Amino acid sequence: MSALKRLDAAAEGTIFADPDRMIGLRASVRTFLRQTHPEAPAFECAGIVRCHPEAISGTSARRAVIAEFFESFPDATPAAEIAAGMEV
């Protein structure tokens, strides 16, 4: 499953599934990934988002969707691979 489809699935049933909000959500994930070490594994990205509110701007609901997105990848998936999948 592509990274964009994983983000869509994580946002399903939330206010972030709205196309206008999804644009911002995708931008937040891309920004986070650009600031993250390329070899950081997906499980670490999820933990950072869940435990450090300053890592992602916005509400706890927004951070929860992004953490769920990272958790949808195999644990060892590197941030660089996730980032590559975020490009349209």
For residue range 32-54, list pLDDT tens digits in order: 999 999 999 999 999 999 999 99
Give the confidence band of 1 by pLDDT, cuts at 50, 70, 90. Answer: confident
Number of domains in the chain: 1
* Of 22, 1, 19, 20, nearest in space to 66 by CA: 22
Do residues 16 and 22 make contact, with C-beta atoms less than 8 angstroms apart? yes
Across 14-40, b (16+ Cβ under 10 Å) vs e yields: eebeeeeebeebbebbeebbeebeeeb
**Arithmetic mean of pLDDT over the chain:** 95
- Name the amino acid, one letter, at 70: F
Structure confidence at residue 87 as a pLDDT band (50, 70, 90): confident
- The parent domain of residue 69 ranges over 3-86
Average pLDDT estimate for 46-70 = 95
pLDDT at 88: 65
